Chain A
Amino acid sequence: MRTAETGARRRNKMERLERVGRLARGKFVAAKDVPAVLKRIIEPGDILCLEGDNQKQADFLANALASLDKKDLRDIHLVMSCITLPAHIELFKKGMIRQVDFCYAGPQGTAVADLVKARKFPVGAIHTYNELFGRFYVDLTPRVALVAATQADRKGNLYLEANTEDTPAVIEPTAFSDGIVFAQVNKIVDRLPRIDIPADQVDFVVEAPYPMHLQALFTRDPAAITEVQVLMAMVALRGIYEKYEVQSLNHGVGFNTAAIELLLPTYGERLGLKGKICKHWVVNPLPTMIPAIESGWVESVFAFGGEVGMERYTAARSDVFFTGRDGGFHSNRPMGQLAGLYGIDMFIGASLQIDINGNSSTVSTSRITGFGGAPNMGCQPTGRRHPTKAWLKAGAEANPGPGSSPGRKLVVQMVETFQAGRVPTFVEELDAAEPSIRKALHGVTPVMIYGDDVTHIVTEEGIANLAACRSVAERQAAIRAVAGYTPVGLKRNKRQTAELRARGIVQLPEDVGVRPSEASRSLLATQDIKGLVRWSKGLYDPPAQFVDW
Chain B
Amino acid sequence: MTRGPLFHEQTARQRIAAVVDRGSFDELLPPPERLTSPYLAQLGIPVSFDDGVVIGRARIGGKKVYLAAQVGQFVGGAVGEIHGAKLTGLFKAAARDRVPCVLIVESGGVRLHEGSAGEIAIAETMRAIFECRALKVPTIAVIGTDIGAYGGIGILSTCCDFRVMTEHGRLGISGPIVIEKWMGKKAYDSSNRALVWKTSGGKTKYLLGDAEALVHDDAGAVREAIGKLLAKSSPVTLKNVKARQKDLEKRLKRFGKTGDPDDVWKGMGVRDVARASLASGPEFAAMAKAGRR
Contact = CB atoms under 8 A, between A and B. Distances in A.
B226 to A, nearest CB: 22
A547 B9 contact: no
B290 interface: no
A337 B278 CA distance: 37
A547 B4 contact: no
Nearest to A522: B5
A215 interface: no
A522 B3 CA distance: 7
B277 interface: yes
B194 A548 contact: yes
Interface in B190-249: 191-194, 196-198, 201
A520 B5 contact: yes
Given A547-B194, A548-B196, A291 B4 contact: no
A251 interface: no
B277 to A, nearest CB: 4
B74 to A, nearest CB: 18
Interface in A504-531: 520-523, 525-527, 530
B6 interface: yes
Interface string B79-116: 00000000000000000000000000000000000000
Given A266-B2, A291-B1, A549 B9 contact: no
A522 B194 CA distance: 25
A263 to B, nearest CB: 11
Contacts of A523: 2
Contacts of B3: 522
A544 B191 CA distance: 10
Interface residues of A, number: 20
Given A548-B194, A548-B197, A549-B197, A525 B1 contact: yes
A435 interface: no
Given A265-B1, A291-B1, A525-B1, A545 B193 contact: yes
Interface in A338-385: none
A538 B278 contact: yes
B278 A548 contact: no
Contacts of B5: 520-522
Contacts of A525: 1
Given A544-B194, A547-B193, A548-B196, A521 B278 contact: no
A534 interface: yes
A549 B278 contact: yes
A111 interface: no
A517 B201 CA distance: 33
Contact of A527 (B6, B193, B196): B6
Interface string B1-43: 1111110010000000000000000000000000000000000
A533 interface: yes
Nearest to B275: A538
**Highest count of chain A CB atoms <10 Å: which of B4, B196, B201, B277:** B277
B110 to A, nearest CB: 25
A528 to B, nearest CB: 9
Given A266-B2, A547-B194, A548-B197, A522 B9 contact: yes
A530 B1 CA distance: 15
A525 B9 CA distance: 14
A530 B6 CA distance: 14
A548 B197 CA distance: 6
Nearest to B192: A544
Contact of B277 (A522, A526, A549): A549
A266 B5 CA distance: 13
A527 B166 CA distance: 15
Contacts of A544: 192, 194
The 7 closest A-B pairs by CB, nearest first: A548-B193, A522-B5, A549-B277, A266-B2, A548-B197, A547-B194, A527-B6
23 contacts: A265-B1, A266-B1, A266-B2, A522-B3, A522-B4, A522-B9, A525-B1, A527-B6, A527-B9, A530-B278, A533-B278, A544-B194, A547-B193, A547-B194, A548-B146, A548-B193, A548-B194, A548-B197, A548-B201, A549-B167, A549-B197, A549-B198, A549-B278
Interface of A: 265-266, 291, 520-523, 525-527, 530, 533-535, 538, 544-545, 547-549
Given A526-B1, A548-B146, A549-B197, 16 more contacts: A265-B1, A266-B1, A266-B2, A521-B5, A521-B9, A522-B4, A533-B278, A535-B1, A547-B193, A547-B194, A548-B193, A548-B194, A548-B196, A549-B167, A549-B194, A549-B201
